[in-house]
Structure 1
């Protein structure tokens, strides 16, 4: 498929509490609020977070009926490759903003990073690995 390798990516997830999730991803991780829509008369509320120069962003949605709840498993991960040590102050900030440091379901991620669960139960892995090295391992 032409262009798939350079396509932009939106990761959409339901949330129980957009304010709590926003604190974690925006104030904790440092993503910027790119767009917010507050529901009116049965519409979904959403919060889009990312970085202005990135080709991806995270969209958190709130179902107006309250019927849809996040159901992440311990292996539903968003992995950020930092190519170096995970800053202790970043982990502390994520915890202060509603995150919980947890052991990884797959011990590989404990060896190569830190796993923090967001207020909805989704897991963020801050990997010490470099993306190019991780890609090379996956293709060898």
Structure 2
């Protein structure tokens, strides 16, 4: 099996795309405190009974991504498939990282032990779990391409 060389052109439209990260949930209402009060996102859109689905989009107008959570009556998508399904937010400023962690804790979300010990290393990461078992890591540091 051979891999083709990806386009590295800055004109590649994928490099300019807005990203929607979508997943189902058994309860949109159970997720809202984690993503709004804890992480600080806002509702930027919602819908009800669209082909049997309800949904909410969370983000911020300045971001190039947003989250969509959907619920279909009578369908239970279950919990996260593993404890290593992660969203990682790299926060280079220690003050801003502490502020983000503090907001989560103030809202009642306690850090959990990470499945992968890397995320707990050197006290630089805090992992939090939403109502569906999906995990978010707040990492104090920059992401660097290899």
Q: TM-score, normalised by structure 2?
A: 0.79
Query: How far apart in 1 are the matches of 2:32 and 2:76?
Result: 20
C-alpha deviation, 1:8, in angstroms? 1.4
1:80 equivalent in alignment to 2:93: no
How many residues are treated as equivalent by the alignment?
Answer: 130
Query: How far apart in 2 are the matches of 1:62 and 1:70?
Result: 13
Q: Which sections of structure 2, spanning at least 5 residues, go unmatched? A: 1-6
Which residue number in structure 2 is paired with residue 130 of structure 1? 142
Task: Verify the 8 A CA contact 1:74 1:123 in the aligned structure 2.
Answer: yes
C-alpha deviation, 1:93, in angstroms? 3.3
C-alpha deviation, 1:109, in angstroms? 0.8
Query: How far apart in 2 are the matches of 1:32 and 1:67?
Result: 25
Q: Which sections of structure 1, spanning at least 5 residues, go unmatched? A: none
C-alpha deviation, 1:33, in angstroms? 0.3
Which residue number in structure 1 is paired with residue 106 of structure 2? 93
Q: TM-score, normalised by structure 1?
A: 0.83
Tell me: CA distance 1:93–1:63, structure 2 relative to 1, closer, same or farther (3 Å): farther
- The one of 51, 60, 65 equivalent to 2:60 is 51
RMSD value over aligned CA atoms?
1.8
Task: Verify the 8 A CA contact 1:100 1:118 in the aligned structure 2.
Answer: no
Tell me: CA distance 1:71–1:92, structure 2 relative to 1, closer, same or farther (3 Å): closer
Query: How far apart in 2 are the matches of 1:100 and 1:62?
Result: 26
Q: Could you give the per-residue CA deviations for residues 29-54 of structure 1, whole angstroms, max 9, x where no partner exists? A: 100101111236x6111110001110
Q: Could you give the per-residue CA deviations for residues 34-89 of structure 1, whole angstroms, max 9, x where no partner exists? A: 1111236x611111000111010011111222243233311100011111333242
